[in-house]
Amino acid sequence: MFAALGVRVTLIDKRETLLDFVDQEIIDELIHEMRRNRVTLRLGEAVQSAESIDGPNGGRLQVSLESGKVIQAKKALYSIGRAGAIDTLNLEATGVESDSRGRLVMNERYQTSVPHIYAVGDVVGFPSLASTSMEQGRIAACDALALTKTPPSPHFPYGIYTISEISVVGKSEEELTKAGIPYEVGKASYRETARGQIMGDGAGLLKLIFHLETHELLGVCIIGEGASELVHIGQAVMALGGKVDFFIDTVFNYPTLAECYKTAAFDGINRLAVYPPAKRQRFATPYFWRKQPRTPVRSPVSGSLITSIIAAPSISSPFADCIAAGIHCASPLPENNSGVREVKSSCTGPPMKLEAGVPNISFGAIIEILPLLSVSQTQSAASDSRLRYRSRDTRSAS
């Protein structure tokens, strides 16, 4: 916050990373934004001493690090984290146990070592959030009054009000990797949405983490304006055991940052490069455009040989590959009396004859094929440059 106001800030931390419970990619984005605001980071460093020194421009503070570095500044803010304020509670008289940082020991119902004494909030330690503390108090009150209560949700969000704002819920990539859980991620930048463009926030990022096989949503990580509000959509889906596919099928208001969920879901599903099951091991590349060696086919108009054909099969239909002629088609090619398969082309001229051995195709969507023709220099290919084949709306076994 000081850096956003134009103050030159140097951050010193013994740890090698900031906020190690947050996904590392989000922290990398935070560090990038901090450096853009001219924040100097000294990670993995420890303070050895701090003393005031007099100078011609007034007093200053000199901070010496164990590594030998010396930092001079006008002010120093020293933070050691949270410690329980229990000194005046006389807990020894009650028998309630605490640790070296003043945090009380409690069970899943927030009972201390003395069953009729409960403890909630910062005094019980992590996560030490106002939101979770209120939920802890509700659960403790219900237990003390013997009321029926639902167990606390395992998915509670973190809101970190840095600049840029951070909010996460669920597991991080590092946690899933350590646990050996297969996962994939989908990302969406704020600048990919109209709302992000309107706000001028090009650095915002939303990241979905989901199970590689079941597509169950495992984590949501967001950095950017309004992150602590946006995270609740992912939290609700996770609490209901939802999948990343939910965002693909959901319509979001426009223009909103919530559209990032849909964009990230598409990005994650596309990373899977899903193949039709029967053809998964046959093809080594995704299924949009394919180009393979094929038997030459003679053009019906110019007489030139068609040396290559690029086919775009229907994404929603199973593959059917005509290996001999290299053509993806949508229906069986009829044979004439001589046993040669032929297909009517959209240009003028006699039917185009394909080489024998072209297999029948088993699905019935209309597919367009755009062949690239190798035409003799002395012959015109104007009417031959686009050959279009339309399938019959029938189905036949291969």
pLDDT tens-digit readout, 94-118:
888 888 788 888 888 888 888 889 9
Residues 195 and 259 in one domain: yes
Share of residues in the chain with pLDDT > 70 (%): 69
Residues 107 and 59 in one domain: no
The arithmetic mean of pLDDT across residues 341-362, rounded, is 40
Angle formed by the axes of helices 227-239 and 259-272, nearest 10°: 60
Tell me whether residue 154 is in a domain.
no
Band the pLDDT of 274: cuts 50, 70, 90.
low
List 124's β-bridge partners, or say none: none
Give Cα separations from 310 to 278, 298, 388 (angstroms): 22, 16, 12
Global pTM?
0.63
Cα separation, 214 vs 201, in Å, equals 33
Residues 209 and 308 in one domain: no
Tell me whether residue 89 is in a domain.
no
Residues 271 and 386 in one domain: no
Mean pLDDT check: name the lowest of 19-28, 105-114, 372-381: 372-381
Mean pLDDT score across all residues of the chain: 74
The CA-based diameter of the chain, rounded to the nearest angstrom, is: 106
Residues 396 and 285 in one domain: yes
Residues 285 and 262 in one domain: no
The arithmetic mean of pLDDT across residues 8-27, rounded, is 91
- Domain of 336? 279-398
Mean pLDDT check: name the lowest of 45-59, 257-271, 281-295: 281-295
Tell me whether residue 21 is in a domain.
yes
Q: How many CB atoms lie within 10 A of CB 378?
A: 6
Query: What confidence score (pLDDT) does residue 89 get?
Result: 85
The arithmetic mean of pLDDT across residues 16-27, rounded, is 91
Q: How many CB atoms lie within 10 A of CB 268?
A: 25
Closest to 48 measured CA to CA, from 31, 62, 27: 62
Query: What confidence score (pLDDT) does residue 127 get?
Result: 82
Q: Report the number of distinct structural domains present in the chain.
A: 4
Query: What confidence score (pLDDT) does residue 225 get?
Result: 92
Query: What confidence score (pLDDT) does residue 95 get?
Result: 85
Residues 215 and 259 in one domain: yes
Give Cα separations from 45 to 10, 11, 49, 61, 254 (angstroms): 12, 10, 12, 18, 46
Band the pLDDT of 300: cuts 50, 70, 90.
low
Tell me whether residue 201 is in a domain.
yes
CATH number at residue 267: 3.30.390.30
Residues 237 and 293 in one domain: no
The arithmetic mean of pLDDT across residues 355-380, rounded, is 36
CB 66 within 8 A of CB 12: no
Query: What confidence score (pLDDT) does residue 70 get?
Result: 92
Residues 180 and 256 in one domain: yes
Tell me whether residue 150 is in a domain.
no
Residues 116 and 187 in one domain: no
Closest to 22 measured CA to CA, from 188, 175, 194: 175
